[in-house]
Amino acid sequence: MKFKSVFDIIGPVMIGPSSSHTAGAARIGRLARELFGRQPKWAKIHLYGSFAETYKGHGTDVAIIGGLLDYDTFDERIKTSFEEAERVGLEFEFIPEDAHADHPNTAKLVIGDDEGVMEITGISIGGGKIEMTEINGFPLRLTGQHPAILVLHEDRPGSIAKVATSLADYDINIGRMEVSRKAVGEMALMVIEMDSDVDEKIMLEISALPHITQVTRIVD
Amino acid sequence: MTILFRSVKELVELAVSQNKLISEIMLEQESLVTKRSREEIMAQMDNNLTVMEQAVERGLKGVNSVSGLTGGDAVLIQNYMNKGNTLSGELMLDAVSKAVATNEVNAAMGTICATPTAGSAGVVPGTLFAVKNKLNPTREQMIRYLFTSGAFGFVVANNASISGAAGGCQAEVGSAAAMAAAAIVEMAGGSPQQCSEAFAITLKNMLGLVCDPVAGLVEVPCVKRNAMGASNALVAADMALAGVTSRIPTDEVISAMYEIGERMPSAFKETAQGGLANTPTGRWLESKIFGGAIKQ
């Protein structure tokens, strides 16, 4: 079941005109910022399919920038997000792509600052709901059927085991797990699909483990 | 995760066997799935209702979209109604004008509540605020209207689609109109089965509706399709309350909608390549708004 809550149907409260092209776009931007962990200094935004064709008319551009500035779907400041981005020093560029993407509403965000760069691809699947499909070139093969978290960590022995142990301590069963890294000893990530949801307390506990950079909920 | 119903049949059976309203089953499921209290869930829906009220109010004062393609029609319809000589009746036109008002606000980048999407956000509140004047519901009953709509929309979203890009306008305004029809029936005191019949009757008459927005904007013909979606919902609700039933079961109508959406050419699924978007005037408006040559 892709849609789990009544508020996926009656909602979100949002700035118009399109739930997929405006609200979904804002959510992709906001999730990208959350994964990056801070306000990026620059963003290159590649748009595919229907996003590339119609982004201006739907406010997809101001919505993605709004999301990168941490605005929610209903934040009136989405309309003036370009001005705000300039004020806080976020440089951005939109690049409509001709290439075919698997989903008609696809955006690839490359965001960064002096400390690092992150590449995130998201799709907007309707009614404002989104899915992340790729991070740093690593495809996230999420079924969307189960709660999932993304853990960014340093590639060190034992870090995967510690996260799994933490979840086991709370009686949370892992249904699927993928791990990947850029190179030995560098930044790595885990995508964990579980049979039950993790609450804030468990999230905090995992983020406090050694070598863990960040924990983000990617599917509720 | 605890899902109480995956089909309309299961939803109606639950309501009947437990002698509960459809809205109640939706509330219970939401509480089970999200592990939130009833009060919290009601409060969030109350907030959504307030957003809908404010959007209608704003639209009835008159708004204009950024492109200039839409705006002001809600005001025209209200002025016409005030002359007191309507053909289809005041409640019907009230619903129509309020559905239009909501979508005009949406096109003007105002704040709305997606039901189930932004492009189809006018039908559910439009019908609600019109029926309200006739049935005098309590605030709680108005909130329940949204849970009933949501219950049916939940089944559609999980078994078919609520996205124009995936299923055409039948999936958006079609779903919205059918959801509204079911909610009207519950508010008017009809049975859960009658809610289901109203839903099926509405959706059957929206099947095949393509998504062909001019210039790819959520304006033409979206705003007026919301108007007609609202009218469809009201007529179907009356038919179901009169005892008319759908020969094809509701869940099979939803499957048919899904199949039609899957087999619909992509030119008619929110790509602005076919239909009204591809008419000479549609193409001319597109080039006027976005610049560039007129596409053939």
pLDDT tens digits, one per residue of A26-67: 999 999 998 888 999 999 999 998 888 888 888 999 999 999
**Does residue A109 belong to any structural domain of this protein?**
yes
**Does residue A83 belong to any structural domain of this protein?**
yes
**Does residue A188 belong to any structural domain of this protein?**
yes
pTM for the whole structure = 0.89
Give the distance from residue A155's alpha carbon to the nearest chain B alpha carbon, in angstroms: 33
| Crossing angle between the packed helical segments B222-241 and B123-135, to the nearest 10 degrees | 40
**Does residue B1 belong to any structural domain of this protein?**
no
Residues A118, A159 within the same domain: no
**Does residue B26 belong to any structural domain of this protein?**
yes
Query: CA-to-CA distance for B68 and B108, rounded, in angstroms?
Result: 9
**Does residue B171 belong to any structural domain of this protein?**
yes
| Residues A45, A118 contacting (CB under 8 angstroms) | no
Confidence check: pLDDT of A12 > 70: yes
**Does residue B296 belong to any structural domain of this protein?**
no
- Taking CB atoms and an 8 Å cutoff, what residues of chain A touch B173? none
Give the model's confidence band at B294: pLDDT under 50 very low, under 70 low, under 90 confident, else very high: confident
Interchain contact, A6 vs B150, CB within 8 Å:
yes
Q: Which residue has the tokens 């549609």?
A: B282
The overall average pLDDT reported for chain A is 90
Residues A117, A204 within the same domain: no
Residues A30, A52 within the same domain: yes
| Boundaries of domain holding B259 | 8-290
Residues A181, A113 within the same domain: no
Residues A118, A61 within the same domain: yes
| Residues B140, B133 contacting (CB under 8 angstroms) | no
Helix (H, G, I), strand (E, B) or coil at B206: coil
For residue A31, give the CATH number of its domain.
3.30.1330.90
**Does residue B2 belong to any structural domain of this protein?**
no
**Does residue B187 belong to any structural domain of this protein?**
yes
Query: What DSSP letter does each residue of B160-187 carry, written as one string?
Result: S---HHHH-HIIIIIHHHHHHHHHHHHH
pLDDT for B166 equals 86
Give the strands of the sheet with A148-154, arranged side by side. A174-181, A187-194, A148-154, A212-219
Residues A169, A118 within the same domain: no
Residues A126, A40 within the same domain: yes
pLDDT for B1 equals 57
Confidence check: pLDDT of B293 > 90: no
Residues A54, A157 within the same domain: no
Give the model's confidence band at A143: pLDDT under 50 very low, under 70 low, under 90 confident, else very high: low
Residues A135, A103 within the same domain: yes
Give the model's confidence band at A180: pLDDT under 50 very low, under 70 low, under 90 confident, else very high: confident
Give the DSSP H/E element, type plus range, for residue A122.
Answer: strand A117-126
For residue B179, give the CATH number of its domain.
1.10.4100
How many structural domains comprise chain A? 2
Q: What is the pLDDT of residues B52-91, one digit of tens each?
A: 999 999 999 999 998 899 999 999 999 999 999 999 999 9
Interchain contact, A76 vs B111, CB within 8 Å:
yes
Confidence check: pLDDT of B129 > 60: yes
Question: Please, which residues bridge with residue A150 across strands?
Answer: A191, A216
Confidence check: pLDDT of A144 > 70: no
**Does residue A212 belong to any structural domain of this protein?**
yes
Confidence check: pLDDT of B134 > 70: yes
State which residue of chain A sits closest to B159, comparing Cα positions.
Answer: A1
Q: Which of A108, A139, A170 is the last residue of a domain?
A: A139
**Does residue B209 belong to any structural domain of this protein?**
yes
Give the distance from residue A212's alpha carbon to the nearest chain B alpha carbon, in angstroms: 28
pLDDT for B132 equals 98
| Residues B95, B205 contacting (CB under 8 angstroms) | no
Q: What is the mean pLDDT of residues A122-129?
A: 88
**Does residue A1 belong to any structural domain of this protein?**
no
For residue A204, give the CATH number of its domain.
3.30.70.260
Query: CA-to-CA distance for B73 and A103, rounded, in angstroms?
Result: 35
pLDDT for B9 equals 98
| Residues A104, A54 contacting (CB under 8 angstroms) | no
Interchain contact, A20 vs B124, CB within 8 Å:
no
How many structural domains comprise chain B? 1
Query: CA-to-CA distance for B211 and A93, rounded, in angstroms?
Result: 30
Residues A123, A28 within the same domain: yes
Which span out of A119-123, A182-186, B43-47 was modeled with the highest average pLDDT? Answer: B43-47
**Does residue B178 belong to any structural domain of this protein?**
yes
Q: What is the mean pLDDT of residues B202-213?
A: 97
Confidence check: pLDDT of A10 > 90: yes
Residues A96, A177 within the same domain: no
Q: Which of B5, B41, B162 to mutate to test the interface with A (most CBs of A within 10 A)?
A: B162
State which residue of chain B sits closest to A54, comparing Cα positions.
Answer: B216
The overall average pLDDT reported for chain B is 96
pLDDT for B296 equals 61
Q: Which of A80, A114, A139 is the last residue of a domain?
A: A139
**Does residue A95 belong to any structural domain of this protein?**
yes
User: Percent of chain B, pLDDT > 90?
Assistant: 91
Of A73-77, B31-35, B87-91, the one with minimum mean pLDDT is B31-35
B33, B114, B290 member nearest A5 (Cβ):
B33
| Boundaries of domain holding A162 | 148-219
Please tell me if residue B158 touches chain A, with a CB cutoff of 8 Å: yes
| Residues B155, B179 contacting (CB under 8 angstroms) | no
Give the distance from residue A50's alpha carbon to the nearest chain B alpha carbon, in angstroms: 6
- Taking CB atoms and an 8 Å cutoff, what residues of chain B touch A53? 216, 271-272
Q: What is the mean pLDDT of residues A103-119?
A: 92
Q: Which of A139, A163, A183 is the last residue of a domain?
A: A139
**Does residue A81 belong to any structural domain of this protein?**
yes
Query: CA-to-CA distance for B203 and B284, rounded, in angstroms?
Result: 33
- The one-character DSSP state at B242 is T
Entry field: residues in chain A:
220
Residues A166, A130 within the same domain: no
Q: Cα–Cα distances in Å, from A62 out to A15, A21, A22, A82, B218?
A: 11, 11, 8, 6, 16
ipTM greater than 0.90, yes or no?
yes
Give the distance from residue B58's alpha carbon to the nearest chain A alpha carbon, in angstroms: 14
